[in-house]
Amino acid sequence: MTIEQQIADLKLVPVIKITDPAHAAPLAEALIAAGLPVAEVTFRTDCAAEAIKIMSQYKDLLLGAGTVINAAQVEEAKNAGATFIISPGFSPEVSKACIAAGLIYFPGIASPRDIQDALADGWKTLKFFPAEALGGVNTLKAFAAPYPGVKFVPTGGINADNVGEYLALPQVQACGGSWMVPNKLMDAGDFSGITKIAKEALNKIK
Ligand code: 3PG
């Protein structure tokens, strides 16, 4: 099964900011225990690659790197064991690096021009970001209309209350978000709390 299909099956992609590598293993276990074995570990902290390396030991976990904004981070993410790359905006540099590295890229898009740039490089599943701030499902519908083959993973301002509206659209493969892995619980080391929230998120979309 392709990574795009796996993400479409899971329907949710937790966006993660790890500040302490010691959180990586218990977080992987918490997500697997919840039945949501997928993580986008963002390069917003210096220990992102280290965390990805630790989490890559969990073979059941679909593991990607997020907030990847240059080719060096693509290399770091690949070496650490990430199997897909996400960025907040479309980056020609990241796109080229992913093609060269054989990694799947989910580029962020915020305009028709971004969509066309992504399509020109062969990417057809795109992160609509920041979804809520850009007008939510109405904007997404308008973006999707001219590009029937394009699928979206909206992220940004999505939560348990509005995730259903997005997933109801046929073009939406999955939704990303940080609400499933709250920083507060991570900082407190409350991994059973994270399992609970991730399970609740899954129940909400059943
Ligand atoms: C991302 O990079 O995908 C976003 O920062 C996640 O957005 P959220 O925190 O609003 O879910």
Q: Which residues are 38's β-sheet partners?
A: 62
Does domain 3-205 match CATH 3.60.20.30? no
The crossing angle, in degrees rounded to 10, of helices 191-204 and 24-34 is 30
Question: Tokens 């392709």 label which residue?
Answer: 2
Name the DSSP class of 60: T
Q: How far is the CA of 30 from the centre of ligand 1 (A)?
A: 20
Reported as a single tens digit per residue, the pLDDT across 179-204 is: 999 999 999 999 999 999 999 999 99
Residue-level pLDDT at 84 = 98
Mean pLDDT across the stretch 5-30?
98
What pLDDT does 190 receive?
98
- Ligand 1 pocket: which of 15, 18, 159 to mutate (most atoms <8 Å of CB)? 15
Separation of 129 CA from ligand 1 center, angstroms? 8
In short, whether 125's Cβ falls inside 6 Å of ligand 1 is no
- Is 10 a residue whose pLDDT tops 90? yes
Distance 31 CA to ligand 1 centre (A): 18
What phi and psi values does residue 171 have, to the nearest 5 degrees? Answer: -80, -10
Q: How large is the average pLDDT for residues 67-72?
A: 98
Give domain limits for the chain. Answer: 3-205
Ligand 1 proximity of 155 Cβ (cutoff 6 Å): yes
> pLDDT, tens digit, for every residue of 20-42?
999 999 999 999 999 999 999 99
> Global pTM?
0.96
| CB of 107 closer than 6 angstroms to any ligand 1 atom | no
Residues marked as catalytic:
40, 127
Say yes or no to pLDDT of 206 above 90.
no
State the Cα–Cα distance between residues 121 and 170, nearest whole angstrom: 23
List pLDDT tens digits, range 82-138: 999 999 999 999 999 999 999 999 999 999 999 999 999 999 999 999 999 999 999
